[in-house]
Each structure stands twice: as C-alpha cells, then as structure tokens.
Amino acid sequence: MYHQISKRFFAVTLVLCIFALPLAALAQTDSTRSKHLLIFPVLAKSIETGWSFGAAGALSFKVSRTDTVSRTSNMQALVLYSLKKQFVAAINGTQYFKREKFILSEQISYSSFPDKFWGLGNSTTDADEEDYKFKQYYIYLHLMRHLGNKFFIGTLFEFQKVMDLDYQLGGAFDKQDIAGRHGYKSSGFGLSFTYDNRNDAFAPDRGGFAQFFFNRFDQHFGSDYNFTNVVVDLRKYIRIYKKQVLALQAYSFSNVGTDIPIRSLAALGGANSMRGYYSGRYRDKQLITLQSEYRVPVYKRLGLVGFGGLGDVSSNISGFAFDNLKYSFGGGLRFALNKTEKLNLRLDYGVGKGNNSGLYFQLGEAF
C-alpha cells in the first residue's frame, strides 16, 4: 500500500552518504536554472540486510519556468544491493503542473529482501518473531484536479504483485491463515478528496493538509482479493518562533473486507511514522497514529528536531484501547541540501515501547 512504500523509501538503519556534503553545493539556487539535481553514492547497513551499497538521487524542478504559483516538483530515486544478494529499486515523486491545476504523484518500486512478521494484532511479543522473504512489484499513481480554493479531487491506481514468498511452514503464517502467503496480485482504483494549502512540498512551515481516499481492490480489476482500503491523513504546520515549526499529523488506515493480503495490511512503524518500531512490527486491518515534530534551525544548513507519537493497530474500531497504545519519541539532525527548496537530509533516532528503537536516514521530512 501507499504508506508502506513511503515508509520503506530510503529507510535504512544506517546510511553514510560519502559525497553528499560536497555535492550539496551543486544544489544552490540559480535564477537562470529551473532544475536542481543531486546524485550521490550510498553505503548502508541494517540488521535485516547487512551491508548494502548503491546510489541515490533527487531532482527538484518547475514544470513551467514562468509559473510562480505552483510549488516545486520533485523526483527521488534509490538503488541498493546488499552483500546478502538483496535488491531494492524505487522511484518516488510529485509533479505540480501549471498553476497546480493538476498534481501527479507516483511511486514505482521493485524489491527483493527479507522481512519480519510477528503475527496479527496489537499484543504480539518479541518471541513471536519470524523471518520471511518475498519479491514485489509495486505501482501507485495518483492524479488530482484542482477545484479551486486549494480543494482537489483525484483518482488513484494501485498495483502490487507479491511472489516467491519463503516463510516458516507451520508458523504464524499458516496458523493464522494469512492471506497472500503463497503469492498474489492486488489491483485497485479509487477516489480522493484533498485540501492542501501548505506553502512547500518538502518542508512546509505554514498551512494544512487534509486528505481522504479509498481504493477498491476487486477481481474485476485483476485483483486476487476483494477489499476496500480507506485512508484519512490530516496535517497542520505552525510557525512558532522565527523559523521554528510545529508539525502535527493524525493518520488512519483501514481495510474493509474478509481477507486482506499480507503486504496490504496496516503496518505500524517505519521511517515516517512511529519511528523506533520496525516497519510492520504490529500488523492488522486497521491503524491509527498521532504524531508531532518540532523543527528548529540551528546554524546555516543545520537543524534539530524532536518528535513523539502514539498509535496502534486493531482488527476493528472496538479493538483500540488507550491503555494498549504504543508510543514513540526521539530526535534528529537536518542538513539542507537545497536551502531554497527546503530539501533536507534527515538523520533520526526513535525509541518505542519495550526494546524497540531504530536509526533512520532519509531525504525529506517524515510528514
């Protein structure tokens, strides 16, 4: 699903961008240019994959040079290969067309790497952990049409093919009869309704964002499973003092249907939400999270952040309980690759409930 790819994108336990700092100078704003391109090598290490290496790139540009209203468009790409023969390739971007009459977002990826599964529900323990592997193709396209006054209506397409699953026979996958454990494809179309008056695409410091969308996955669209995915994403950005910003988000992810395939389940954790938890540490049909982040510029290109969040998963609304909520908190560093467009490298360390913690390196803010 959309949120799963966003969490994985550039999310690794440790990333060393060896040449990122000198290349950042190439991103200085030039009034004669409308494009800014960064390409740098990446060396990464995570518990799941061991050492990985590859390349990352970020392109920011204006679709129309004469358009002073639209926000800056962006494309990001990553290719990683690990010493354990695991591979990830991903493209992620948003394009703002002239006067933002249309906005197109896309996510395209191929992945072949191990993951972890603790079973379904919000009360699984560390002892329930099982390893599994899979390969996946993923496509997400979202086209929005401006209706006026920052309101948009959109249409979505989502395709996912999961194959070559290798899991522990007789374990949680079989005991809980997890849908899709033998491989599957899901294909769906949906509608979205959005209000967006943020002042920046990468790191807004004013405005708000409210989006509701639903996707229907159905055999008539070529899907192996029939279910409906509903997402509500609410964000607010408040400038507190000078350039210090308080960012707030409320997020809900729900699936309606009997059989929800493994990679389409709601997943708690990752680089963009509930940092400190392994992405998918808790899985179920529904997810609710609340998070905040305080962003403080320190000196020139450097900045600091502090963040915190609450969230949980459940099979239904009645399964959410305040005394069982998971928490997350932590802090991080920011380095501005492009000060004008506010494109940041971020290094975050998050801590969760129990023994959950993690270090993240990404391009762009968490939300």
Statement: residue 341 has pLDDT above 70: no
Question: Has residue 185 got a pLDDT over 70?
Answer: yes
pLDDT tens, 143-165? 999 999 999 999 999 999 999 99
* Confidence band of 4 (pLDDT split at 50, 70, 90): very low
Lowest mean pLDDT segment, chosen from 75-89, 103-117, 143-157: 75-89
Does residue 198 have a pLDDT over 70? yes
3-state secondary structure 145-201: EEEECCEEEEEEEEEEEEEEEEECCCCHHHHCCCCCCCCEEEEEEEEEEEEECCCCC
Higher pLDDT, 187 or 201: 187
- Return the structure tokens found at 173: 């996958």
For residues 195-204, average pLDDT: 85
- pLDDT above 70 (res 267): yes
Most confident among 56-70, 273-287, 350-364 (mean pLDDT): 273-287
Residue 47 has pLDDT above 60, yes or no: no
pLDDT average, residue stretch 168-189: 95
| Distance set, CA 307 to CA 60, 187, 203 (Å) | 27, 35, 15
Place of tokens 């599957």: 184
Residue 49's pLDDT band (cuts 50, 70, 90): low
pTM score of the predicted model: 0.85
Would the pLDDT of 136 be above 60? yes
- The single-letter DSSP state of residue 24 is H
Number of helices and strands in the chain (H, E): 3, 19
Q: What pLDDT, on a 0 to 100 scale, did the predictor assign at position 31?
A: 42
For residues 270-278, give the mean pLDDT.
89
List the domains of the chain with CATH numbers.
Answer: 2-363 (2.40.160.50)
| pLDDT-based confidence at residue 46 (cuts at 50, 70, 90) | low
Would you say residue 250 has pLDDT above 60?
A: yes
Rounded average pLDDT over 309-330: 91
**Residue 45: per-residue pLDDT:** 60
Q: Give the per-residue pLDDT at 28.
A: 42
Which pLDDT does position 321 carry in this prediction? 86
Instruction: Using alpha carbons only, give the angle 172, 175, 180 rounded to the nearest 5 degrees.
Output: 75
What is the Cα–Cα distance from 74 to 92, expressed in whole angstroms? 8
Residue % of the chain over a pLDDT of 70: 88
Tokens (6 digits) for 45: 């290490």
pLDDT of residue 132: 93
Residue 134 pLDDT exceeds 50: yes
Name the β-bridge partners of 272.
Answer: none
- Proportion of the chain above pLDDT 90, given as a percent: 59
The beta strand positions in 257-323, using DSSP E, are: 266-268, 282-284, 286-299, 302-314
For residues 112-118, give the mean pLDDT.
Answer: 90
Q: In which element (H, E) is residue 211 found?
A: strand 207-217
What is the per-residue pLDDT for 176?
95
The answer to whether 276 and 350 are in contact (CB under 8 A) is: yes
